[in-house]
Structure 1
Amino acid sequence: MLLVIPAIDIRGGRCVRLYQGSYERETVYFDDPVKMACLWRVQNARVLHVVDLDAARGQGHNREVIGAICRTVDIPIQVGGGVRTLEDIEALLQVGVYRVVLGTAAVREPELVSEAIARYGCSRVVVGIDARDGEVRVQGWTEGTGVDAVELALDMERRGVRRFVYTDISRDGTLEGPNVEMYRTLGLHLKKARITASGGVSGYRDLMRLQELEPYRVDSVIIGRALYENRFPCQQFWCWHDKENVDLTRFSTAPLKREIKLPTAE
């Protein structure tokens, strides 16, 4: 079963979404990311994906907010954005993050990935591949690298990476559907690692298309805008339409953090 992971992108302490990674095309969905995390938890989220957009561009960080999310909800939190040193990894793990996502560092300092996995394990360190037309981009998606996404994935897999978060930048925030062909291509090349899809999901039909990619090592999907804009019929039966009044302390029946085993490669 495909695991659905709500996304919380933080910029300036607020919960936002970008269109195709453009910081100039930002929509603020919620002023308090902690409350947003609680809302997704009430709606039965089992994992949350948090991106620190400020850290991704080297413009400070939101670790205090991220730490508050970790302390408030009882499910695992994975965090990406500006994680480029072992000290960054340690700092996030110390505030309660379950696992970190390395992006720019995987391209510019691949040995750091090897060292991080040796120190913390492949379940705590994953690699995010953010690509446009198959080319990996870094620094908060602002810079091209000339690196092929599949080649990067294969190198990272040899270094012990067992989970990739693959984001198609051209689809991210557009609701135009996921890049199914790219996920299939990547999955055909991988031998041990699994894939978390990200970018473009517009609704239920897209989830069904991704579910069919299980033989190609896709087992989870990160969703942002489609959830925030109430694109799934089941949300009508939850509390999104009255989010200001919902009891955010009344969590759902999802397993607690200590009971959850995140998807692995095995």
Structure 2
Amino acid sequence: MLLIPAIDLRGGRCVRLRQGRYDDETVYFDDPVRMAKLWRVMNARVLHLVDLDAARVSEGPPAEDNRDVIARVAAGLDIPVQVGGGVRTLDDVQAMLDLGVYRVVLGTAAVREPDLVSEAVARFGDRRIVVGIDARDGEVRTAGWEEGSGRSAVEFAVEMERRGVRRVVYTDIARDGTLEGPNVAAYREMGAALQKAKITASGGVGGYRDLLALQALDGVGVDSVVVGRALYENQFPCQQFWCWHRKDEVDLERFSSARLALRG
């Protein structure tokens, strides 16, 4: 089970939303680049970034985004960085890749323009394109989780697989940021419906027992998990607490020996 630290970006800072609500925000750090390097020092092999400012825009280009931060994070690390939020066109995908991002997550655009997903996979390859499926009560949500789509998460995942997608990041919005445990049943249901695509779980992880529960789903294609709040709040016994309390003294330019995880 590959554990992927998450950095949600809003206004250039590291934040977490509870259950996707923009009015329930916690700011953890002001410097996402230092935060990203700290995760790397602590042996992260992949990093997950979400541009919340860009994701919230329903139509047209966002008034503000965090692309400058994303570029600095990608340039400062030696591991793959995957980014979602506000990616609406093939040009947006190319722009992200040009910033040094390894993998791009399509969310709202995949729901509204599924043909775009097919075109993106054909142009950039299935290792560079991921579909993010954010759901509440099994319904796919869009525009930064604020709008319903009327689409079933499982049926939508199957359609994306038919279009060439080989990885989905599946977030249960009701669990996200709560530390109340992942929706194991939902991941099992989606995994059983897919034949080729792998699932990265997201939402609700509160401790190592939740990771063990997800690891048991390896047989249905759940092979990784995005974790945010639990890491920020030191919910795992193995975390290096000195990195938090003395983080200004940690040499963030000397990364660990973790191998790169350029996987599907």
TM-score (normalizing by structure 1): 0.95
Contact 1:43 1:238 survives alignment (8 Å):
no
CA shift at 1:211, angstroms? Answer: 0.5
Out of 86, 96, 111, the residue aligned to residue 107 of structure 1 is 111
Q: In the TM superposition, what whole-angstrom CA distance separates every residue of 1:196-224 from its partner, at most 9, and x where no partner exists?
A: 00000000000000000000100000000
Matched with 1:31 is 30
Matched with 1:160 is 164
Matched with 1:11 is 10
Q: Does the residue aligned with 1:87 lie in a helix, a strand or coil?
A: helix
> Identity, % of aligned pairs?
70
CA shift at 1:242, angstroms? Answer: 2.0
Q: Does the residue aligned with 1:4 lie in a helix, a strand or coil?
A: strand
Matched with 1:21 is 20
CA shift at 1:106, angstroms? Answer: 1.0
Output aligned runs, 1:116-265, within 5 Å: 116-236=120-240, 239-255=243-259, 257=260, 260-262=261-263, 264=264
TM-score (normalizing by structure 2): 0.96
Distance 1:86 1:53, change over 3 A: same
Q: In the TM superposition, what whole-angstrom CA distance separates every residue of 1:3-38 from its partner, at most 9, and x where no partner exists?
A: 000000000000100000111011110001000000
Q: Does the residue aligned with 1:235 lie in a helix, a strand or coil?
A: coil
CA shift at 1:240, angstroms? Answer: 2.4
CA shift at 1:238, angstroms? Answer: 5.5
**Unpaired runs of at least 5, structure 2:** none
Q: In the TM superposition, what whole-angstrom CA distance separates every residue of 1:36-94 from its partner, at most 9, and x where no partner exists?
A: 00000000000000000011012421111100001101100000011110111000000
**Unpaired runs of at least 5, structure 1:** none
Distance 1:236 1:72, change over 3 A: closer
Contact 2:80 2:262 survives alignment (8 Å):
no
Q: Does the residue aligned with 1:202 lie in a helix, a strand or coil?
A: coil
Amino acid corresponding to residue 124 of structure 1 in structure 2: R
Matched with 2:86 is 82
Which deviates more from structure 2 when the two are superposed, residues 231-240 or residues 43-52? 231-240
Out of 53, 75, 81, the residue aligned to residue 71 of structure 1 is 75
Q: In the TM superposition, what whole-angstrom CA distance separates every residue of 1:143-167 from its partner, at most 9, and x where no partner exists?
A: 0111100110011000000000000
